[in-house]
Amino acid sequence: MSTAVTRNAKPIAISVIGLVVVFGLLYTWRTTRYGSAEPHAFPPMPVSTIRAEPRSVAEELQAVGSLQAVREVLLAPDTSGRVTAINFEAGQTVKEGTVLVQLYDAPEQADLAAAAAKADFAQLQLKRSQTLASTGAEPRELLEQRKAEAAQAVAAVQQLDARIQQKTIRAPFSGQIGIRRINPGQYLTAGDAIATLTQLDPLYVNFTLPQQDLPRLTSGATVQVTVDAAPGQVFSAKVSTIEPRIDGETRNVVVQALLPNAVRMLKSGMYVTTRLTLPATTNAIVLPLTAIQTSASGDSVVLVQEANAEGLGKAVAVPVITGRRLGEDVLVTQGVKSGDTVVTAGQNRLPPGAAVKISTDAPSAAAARAAPAVSSAASAQ
């Protein structure tokens, strides 16, 4: 009976061994076909590239700013009084020292005349005492008293004269008068508004720039200014002051330029657009914005390395540090060197180390160098 069992088991064992061999061969074939495939076994992905080449970039900063009068004041009296004369018209240009408004000062004028008479009498008394005291006919104490009386009389005259001067409102500087806010006969108290006086030539141009531009800003630099009120016209200003501190919240620096305004076309408070040309950056690497990939870990670009004469190569992602944006381009300060081939289109679907083929319609390096640098915008708020 044991012999019969042995004879029946042999075919079963042979079948099992055969199945194992078949499955093993099948597994080996599938592993060889799919598991060991290298990236270069896939068809190369077409990409557009640009060759990084250093060039000089004439950078122009653009910012929104506003105009401010160099001198502007709200005219107001220092004392109370009734308006007896108004010597200006709204919009009139006046010179420094021009009498603009006269307040009623008749009582003060009368007091001044009386005080002047007392001062004259005190001077006569002083001279008489000086003569008598020199001969011993009058005690020195009386002479000292006469000196004090004369000084007090002069002080009284000066005090009244100052009060009268307060009744006369003069232009503190040359400029243009604004809208009149008073009328003849009106009673004014100290501080009541009369009109504004504004010096329109020159004007200040105030704007802000990012703190990274501070090392390249210099006093005397030319600023091109445009305003919506004068389309097509460009005004030239000169940087006069750079704020010595940086705003703690915006990290911007305030810049002030001086703008000639002889024809007085521009007004204080106008919004303007400013363009400031900075010294050219030499040996700059400039890439299209499409070449930059942004993620939570930072910016990066894809380089084509080991490219052959047919444009076949390997894609390698490298981190970069970017600088100022120049229109549709951007400065790359770290990560890309001269001669690198940078992918500008088609990089989003590339796995690391993927085989790529450079498209023949990729922009040339010469075309990249010929592309003009455009203005970059800065906040001025």
Confidence of residue 37 (pLDDT cuts 50, 70, 90): very low
Q: Using a pLDDT cut of 90, give the percent of the chain over it.
A: 40
Using one digit for the tens of pLDDT, what is the confidence trace for 175-227?
A: 999 999 999 999 999 999 999 999 999 999 999 998 888 887 888 989 999 99
Amino acid identity of 339? G
Greater confidence (44 vs 375) lies with 44
Q: Whose CA is closest to 275, among 202, 375, 194?
A: 375
Residue ranges and CATH numbers for the domains of the chain are 41-57+281-378 (2.40.420.20), 62-70+199-277 (2.40.30.170), 79-188 (no CATH)
Q: What is the pLDDT of residue 15?
A: 66
CA distance 16 to 227: 92
Q: What is the pLDDT of residue 194?
A: 95
Question: Which residue matches tokens 């009389």?
Answer: 153
Question: Which residue matches tokens 């005190």?
Answer: 122
Q: Show the tokens assigned to 304.
A: 């084509």
Q: What is the pLDDT of residue 67?
A: 96
CA distance 381 to 370: 34
Q: Whose CA is closest to 332, among 340, 341, 323, 319?
A: 323
Q: What is the pLDDT of residue 19?
A: 63
Whether the per-residue pLDDT at 22 is higher than 80: the answer is no
Least confident interval from 18-22, 44-48, 115-119, 232-236: 18-22
Given the DSSP bridges, would you call strands 235-242 and 222-226 parallel, antiparallel or unpaired? antiparallel
Both ends of the chain: CA-CA distance in Å?
104
Q: What is the pLDDT of residue 187?
A: 95
Sign of the C-alpha dihedral, residues 213, 218, 222, 223? Answer: positive
Greater confidence (289 vs 10) lies with 289
Q: Using a pLDDT cut of 70, give the percent of the chain over it.
A: 83
Mean pLDDT, rounded, for 304-320: 87
Least confident interval from 23-27, 134-138, 164-168, 341-345: 23-27
Mean pLDDT, rounded, for 278-288: 84
Least confident interval from 60-74, 113-127, 252-266, 355-369: 355-369
Q: What is the pLDDT of residue 20?
A: 60
Least confident interval from 9-18, 317-326, 370-379: 370-379
CB burial readout 16-53, b (16+ within 10 A) else e:
eeeeeeeeeeeeeeeeeeeeeeeeeeeebbebbbbbbe
Q: What is the pLDDT of residue 12?
A: 64
Q: How does DSSP classify residue 261?
A: -
Mean pLDDT, rounded, for 224-239: 92
Q: What is the pLDDT of residue 94?
A: 95
Whole-model pTM: value is 0.60
